[in-house]
Structure formats: C-alpha cells, structure tokens
Amino acid sequence: MSNRIERCFAELQAARKKALIPFITAGDPSPDWVVAMMHTLVEEGADLLELGVPFSDPTADGPVIQASSERAIDRGVGLSDVLDMVHEFRKRDDTTPVILMGYLNPIERFGYSEFTGAAADSGVDGLLLVDCPPEEMKVLRPMMDAAEIAPICLVAPTTTPDRRRMIARFAVGFVYYVSFKGITGADRLDAQSLLAPVSELRECTDLPLVVGFGIKDAENAASVAAHADGVVIGSALVSLLAEAKTEADTLDRIRAFVAPIRRAMDNTAQS
C-alpha cells in the first residue's frame, strides 16, 4: 500500500530530512503548464506533491485556493484531466508521491470503482477528501485499498482524543494535522503551539505527521519542520503563481519560492 509514500518518508528519515509538500491547483495558471510545474517543484526540493482537484463548492479552502479552483474550472479542467496530468508526470518521474486533494462529489460522479482504477493507472498514491470522514468511506475505502491508494486523513485542533485515535488507525501513508481552526491561507500560525498536539498524535500512530494551513514562507516552514515530519505549503504558492503570465514565468516563480524553503528546512534539520 502506498509504496512511494512509505519509501519517501523512510528515505527522508534516514537522511534526517523533513518532507516538503507543496500544493498546486491542477489547471492554474494554465492546464498546459501543470506537468512542467510538478517537475520543477521536484527539481527544487519537493518530496511529495499535493495536487488540487478543482471543485466549485469547497469547505476548507480559503479564498486564494477557491479562486484558483474557479479559474481552473473556467478553463475546463475536471477530474479526468487531473488524472491525465498525473499520467503524463509519471512518464518522467516514477518515484515522487502524488496526493490528490479535493472533495467527494467529483469522485461520486466519476464512479468509485472507475475512479480508483483510473487513479491507480495514472500513478496516484494518495487521496485527501476534505468532506469525507472515515465513517463515510465504507464503500470507497476497500476500492482504494485494492488500488493501493492511501487515504490521507486530517486531524484538527478540535478533534477529540478518541476520534484522533480512530483517525490514526484509519489513515495510511501519513497523518495531516491542520495547524489551526479555520480555512487554508489564514495568518494564524504559531509553531510553538504545535508541540503538544503533534506529541499527542505521535502516541496514536507510527505514521509520519505532516502539518499544513498557514505556512507561508521559509521561516514558517522551518519552524514547523522542527516539530513535524513534513510541511504542506499551498495558498502562498498558489497566490504567487496566479500572477504568472507565461510558463517560463510560472516555473521561475516556483524556483524562487521553493528553493529557500528547502534550504531553511534542511538547515533546521541539521542544527
């Protein structure tokens, strides 16, 4: 199950490094540039990729990612197109884990069995469905298991201890801790406040723990990486890329944004 994810975190642990997991929306700034964007993210130090599936009615995404999704939808990007992007990415990169982040409705319309088969064929490693808790995955989960697609689960500051343990048992690949109550992109991150909840989560699972929401720059990422096994950074990157007018500009923006974050995280791990 999720061999790429497990192998990635094992290699990072052996190297005493933390996972850098950037998020981009599939289809923004242009559907034609997404695969090149994915490769450039990896070249600049990304360890896993989180690829957002455009959806019209998000519940956890803040205004930056919601607007990005709307732009991608306006360009005609749907779930099938996202899977095609992953398939194209896999022609050159068969090692970097790819996690799809999105909502249940597009998968229901696609068909559970059809989706899991197509996602596995494309090279998808994990699926994070914001609006689908473990209790609602009774039909989808066996199909994901058969396709070796990891269910990536969210734990929030408001999650009770009993539920935290249940989610930890359900999860595969890694557990994603939401750093604060609210939506993506909000400016409320306090890295020191993560110490207690991350420590409590470690008592529930041996899976790697990654933290997302509110991580905007190298300083944020390094401070969070001191407590977690990986960091997810999304809204700040998506906002930067929204202003790009050409593919070359987009890739230059990725390089300028990701490289210092990678350096800061590595320096923190070695200190």
Q: Are 258 and 38 in contact (CB under 8 A)?
A: no
Strands (DSSP E) contained in the chain are: 19-25, 49-52, 98-102, 126-129, 150-151, 153-155, 175-178, 209-212, 230-233
Exposed, middle or buried, 138 (CB in 10 Å: 0-12/13-18/19+)? Answer: exposed
Annotated catalytic residue 50: yes
Query: Of 28, 44, 47, 61, which is the active-site residue?
Result: 61
Element housing 113 (H / E): helix 112-122
Q: How far apart are CA 80 and CA 26, in angstroms?
A: 11
Task: Please state the separation of Cα 82 from the chain's center in Å.
Answer: 14
Annotated catalytic residue 203: no
Query: Of 6, 50, 84, 229, which is the active-site residue?
Result: 50
Question: What are the distances in angstroms from CA 229 to CA 46, 59, 90, 196?
Answer: 14, 26, 25, 15
- The CA-to-CA distance between both ends of the chain, in Å, stands at 33
Question: What are the distances in angstroms from CA 212 to CA 29, 33, 55, 84, 228?
Answer: 22, 25, 20, 26, 10
Beta bridge partners of 19: 230
Element housing 89 (H / E): helix 79-90
Q: Are 82 and 99 in contact (CB under 8 A)?
A: no
Catalytic residues: 50, 61
